[in-house]
A and B are shown apart, each in its own frame.
Chain A
């Protein structure tokens, strides 16, 4: 079991280092969830305790409060270059699903995809953690991030199983699923014409179970929202609170989650089953074509 985690770790570290070597304007998306937190840990592995690239979080302001506290705690502890962005207009004008103005998919597209697109491009304000004051300030750096490291896993959902480790998107963030570059022998697409952006997926080969096994082995701090706090319920996947449901589970720690995934009730139920937006309309694939991570 350990050997398999070693192989996954090694591949992810290799990919992260390759991305760091090839991209000047590189950022890592940190959703605060378990996957991207594992990815952040892998970056510390890759760079020997340092994280020499900014972490970007898209704050929909409908995230569960303790997620933000957890984000800032780790950012300070691990001395991260922490940046967040948001769709200020949609939030101000309450064009959201929880406000009852739009449907779930439109809300996701606006608060996540749009906010992400503009935060990466640098044409909407970015807010950066000042480690001296402990507060966020508008980031003077507005240059676009051309390489974005994302914690997508192939086993999450059909469209993600088609991803490459290094996946080009054009300037409109469009993903041409039918014509992707070949990847072989650890050679990835690291040469690109101006205007191309790359998504880099170091976790593509990991499963939900691998993630938890690695969290256990490395003792990586995750938010307690993943555990049953006594009400017999826990989050299996984290998102915005209006659209993410808890699952019934007795698992109160990492070990119990692993058991549950291996032999228990979740061994045959998909992880995103609690995410409502996947079920509406075209679901995740159409979100992803439009830039959703």
Chain B
């Protein structure tokens, strides 16, 4: 007994709610007495009865006579159960329409035969195509108002088919109905005898539920990593929901973008028989061998299957819902599967008016428009092209706490950091160099200006080491400075949100101090490869000497690896020795 999720969309007042209400009534899917209760209420308030009132459960709605939000209701044909999502037709409620439609497997698009194709008929069609809903039935409603005329039906049908064709959408059927009178809904009718196809209900029963994702490559976005220690539980569980494909115990798996590898050791599930394989749709957990460290947001895939993309630049079609427009250069938060990274729009290639598909080039994408854009994330994320794996090829953008847009990824633009490059070029051009060269300064201080960057896990004693190193070098007469910003000041507690800004400031500060000839020390827990590259670029021309304490996420080897087991004074000794070996402090003045 599957329950088919269906959305009903269309322009305001074209009769979406009537179609649904009548379907509920005709299939005997209403609670006893509901219809009578609504009829009675209408009588009492001297309003003509409408099926739409059945759905208007909220007082606010009844007042305005329009659907504000997405209401769900359930009905059944002789074939199966349906859950219908009634989506509002008003443009102001487009985000609600999208919320409803995104949950559906198929859509019924209602068009008023008399009014014909309207702005939101087209806009909703565009949204369905962007949301990836390929199964569409078009119901040309209110045929009673045009005398059940075949010619009127055909002209609406042809106009709309031409529009859908531009979107690459071919509807399963376009059929005439008169929903208020129940014509051609559950049964065929005499008035529309010129129409050959099955009635709406028959068309609904022909829709196909959930395409089979088992044959697709295995994709599981890592939602979280758990280690609950209560009751002696020592499992380290990688939890997530499998979007596509299938995986077995013993399979080699790879996590993107870190590219870490392991084998599936066990499949974990509470109160269920032990499994040896698990497929798409399941929210599940795995233990790995070896127990590698992976982060929420990574994409778990199977070795030997097509790899996902791992890039920070990609092209996408974005529908914008935000009250403030989508603008280039501004930072947003990208949420793609379970990954979250800061992102900005590098450029807007074209803007599409969703209601008429005309396009133009602009600097911003306004509310309810669709923009084809190139996005640049702060660091690489794992994804697929929407055409390959829809589930991992789409994302939303958060602007000031709100989901303000959604998008599907069209193409991969590789790795690059255009904002940083632009900034560095700008800095280079506009920097008024003093007459003192860096070698003059190096000679004065008898040292090579260097940025010593200490990193490690969240609990590595980085600050103590940095302080001890600064004192030791200072005692030796060196020109040294430790930037003692706590993690709180660096904004690291706030999660990833402020990380790009923190890195920018840190890199610029390192640049200033090293330009002045200093040895500059800073510590930053949880550094990864892209972040290291950003700091190295900003500190140029000074060298960055990366020192790790304990395990880290860096894949490119650091200049010096220290262990958390070593006592502090030994760590300092090793470090100082390394600095002299690396000719940062030449033994003899030149």
A residues within 8 Å of B by Cβ?
1, 3-4, 6-7, 9-11, 13-14, 17-18, 20-21, 44-50, 52, 79, 154-155, 157-159, 161-162, 164, 177-178, 180-185, 187, 189, 191-193, 196, 205, 207, 218, 268-270, 282, 285
Given contacts A4-B3, A159-B57, A269-B32, contact A191 B333 (CB under 8 A): yes
A45 to B285, CA, bound (A): 10
Q: Judging by beta carbons under 8 Å apart, are B401 and A268 in contact?
A: no
Q: Judging by beta carbons under 8 Å apart, are A177 and B226 in contact?
A: no
Q: Judging by beta carbons under 8 Å apart, are B228 and A47 in contact?
A: yes
B242's closest neighbor in chain A, by CB?
A: A10
A266 to B383, CA, bound (A): 47
Please pick, from B60, B74, B237, B268, the residue contacting A178 in the complex, using a CB distance under 8 A.
Answer: B60
Contact string, B368-405, partner A, CB cutoff 8 A, digits 1/0? 00000000000000000000000100111010011100
B223's closest neighbor in chain A, by CB?
A: A17
Chain B proximity of A139: nearest CB distance (Å): 19
Q: Judging by beta carbons under 8 Å apart, are A13 and B283 in contact?
A: yes
Chain A proximity of B317: nearest CB distance (Å): 14
Q: Judging by beta carbons under 8 Å apart, are B282 and A10 in contact?
A: yes
Neighbouring A residues of B223 by C-beta, 8 Å = 14, 17-18, 21
Contact string, B283-305, partner A, CB cutoff 8 A, digits 1/0? 10100000000001000000000
Chain B proximity of A193: nearest CB distance (Å): 5
A282 to B62, CA, bound (A): 13
Neighbouring B residues of A3 by C-beta, 8 Å = 2
Given contacts A9-B283, A21-B224, A177-B60, contact A183 B296 (CB under 8 A): no
Neighbouring B residues of A20 by C-beta, 8 Å = 224
A21's closest neighbor in chain B, by CB?
A: B224
Q: Judging by beta carbons under 8 Å apart, are A177 and B69 in contact?
A: yes
Q: Judging by beta carbons under 8 Å apart, are A268 and B31 in contact?
A: yes
Q: Judging by beta carbons under 8 Å apart, are B270 and A184 in contact?
A: no
Cβ of B239 under 8 Å from chain A: yes
Given contacts A180-B69, A181-B403, A269-B32, contact A17 B230 (CB under 8 A): no
Cβ of B331 under 8 Å from chain A: no
Q: Judging by beta carbons under 8 Å apart, are B69 and A4 in contact?
A: no
Chain A proximity of B58: nearest CB distance (Å): 6
Q: Judging by beta carbons under 8 Å apart, are B2 and A4 in contact?
A: yes
Given contacts A6-B281, A182-B95, A185-B394, contact A48 B2 (CB under 8 A): no
Q: Judging by beta carbons under 8 Å apart, are B283 and A10 in contact?
A: yes
Neighbouring B residues of A282 by C-beta, 8 Å = 59
Q: Judging by beta carbons under 8 Å apart, are B396 and A187 in contact?
A: yes
B243's closest neighbor in chain A, by CB?
A: A186
User: What are 26 A-to-B residue pairs whose CB atoms are below 8 Å?
Assistant: A4-B2, A13-B283, A14-B241, A17-B239, A17-B283, A45-B269, A45-B270, A45-B283, A46-B283, A48-B237, A48-B285, A49-B228, A158-B58, A161-B73, A162-B70, A162-B71, A177-B69, A182-B321, A182-B403, A184-B99, A184-B102, A184-B131, A184-B396, A192-B401, A193-B401, A269-B32
Given contacts A158-B58, A159-B57, A182-B95, contact A48 B74 (CB under 8 A): no
Neighbouring A residues of B237 by C-beta, 8 Å = 48
Neighbouring A residues of B241 by C-beta, 8 Å = 10, 13-14
Chain A proximity of B81: nearest CB distance (Å): 9
A184 to B395, CA, bound (A): 9
Neighbouring B residues of A177 by C-beta, 8 Å = 58, 60, 68-69
Neighbouring A residues of B296 by C-beta, 8 Å = 21
A217 to B270, CA, bound (A): 14
Q: Judging by beta carbons under 8 Å apart, are A184 and B230 in contact?
A: no
A154 to B395, CA, bound (A): 26
Q: Judging by beta carbons under 8 Å apart, are B335 and A187 in contact?
A: yes
Contact string, B190-218, partner A, CB cutoff 8 A, digits 1/0? 00000000000000000000000000000
Neighbouring B residues of A218 by C-beta, 8 Å = 271
Further contacts, 6 of them, CB under 8 A, given A182-B321, A189-B401, A268-B31:
A14-B223, A48-B233, A162-B69, A180-B69, A180-B99, A282-B59
Q: Judging by beta carbons under 8 Å apart, are B226 and A47 in contact?
A: yes
Given contacts A161-B72, A177-B68, contact A50 B228 (CB under 8 A): yes
B residues within 8 Å of A by Cβ?
1-3, 30-32, 57-60, 68-74, 83, 95-96, 98-99, 102-103, 131, 223-224, 226, 228, 230-231, 233, 235, 237, 239, 241, 268-271, 281-283, 285, 296, 321, 333, 335, 391, 394-396, 398, 401-403, 406
Q: Judging by beta carbons under 8 Å apart, are A182 and B96 in contact?
A: yes
Neighbouring B residues of A21 by C-beta, 8 Å = 223-224, 296
A33 to B534, CA, bound (A): 54
A66 to B411, CA, bound (A): 60
A120 to B348, CA, bound (A): 45
A154 to B271, CA, bound (A): 27
Q: Judging by beta carbons under 8 Å apart, are A268 and B32 in contact?
A: yes
A162 to B398, CA, bound (A): 22
Neighbouring A residues of B398 by C-beta, 8 Å = 191
Please pick, from A10, A79, A193, the residue contacting B281 in the complex, using a CB distance under 8 A.
Answer: A10
A164 to B103, CA, bound (A): 12
Neighbouring B residues of A164 by C-beta, 8 Å = 99
A188 to B583, CA, bound (A): 53
A16 to B99, CA, bound (A): 19
Neighbouring A residues of B98 by C-beta, 8 Å = 182, 184
Chain B proximity of A212: nearest CB distance (Å): 14
7 closest A-B pairs by beta carbon, nearest first, are A158-B57, A184-B102, A182-B95, A13-B283, A50-B228, A187-B396, A10-B283
Q: Judging by beta carbons under 8 Å apart, are A48 and B235 in contact?
A: yes
Given contacts A1-B1, A21-B296, A154-B72, contact A189 B402 (CB under 8 A): yes
A164 to B69, CA, bound (A): 10
Neighbouring B residues of A207 by C-beta, 8 Å = 74
Chain A proximity of B415: nearest CB distance (Å): 24
Please pick, from A18, A161, A192, A205, the residue contacting B57 in the complex, using a CB distance under 8 A.
Answer: A161
Q: Which of A14, A184, A269, A270 has the most CB of B within 10 A?
A: A184
Neighbouring A residues of B32 by C-beta, 8 Å = 268-269
Q: Which of A48, A49, A218 has the most CB of B within 10 A?
A: A48
Chain B proximity of A290: nearest CB distance (Å): 14
Q: Judging by beta carbons under 8 Å apart, are A48 and B283 in contact?
A: no
Neighbouring A residues of B96 by C-beta, 8 Å = 180, 182
A270 to B285, CA, bound (A): 37
Chain A proximity of B492: nearest CB distance (Å): 16
Q: Judging by beta carbons under 8 Å apart, are A181 and B95 in contact?
A: yes
Neighbouring B residues of A10 by C-beta, 8 Å = 241, 281-283
Chain B proximity of A186: nearest CB distance (Å): 8
Chain A proximity of B559: nearest CB distance (Å): 35
A34 to B54, CA, bound (A): 28
Chain A proximity of B342: nearest CB distance (Å): 12
A158 to B406, CA, bound (A): 28
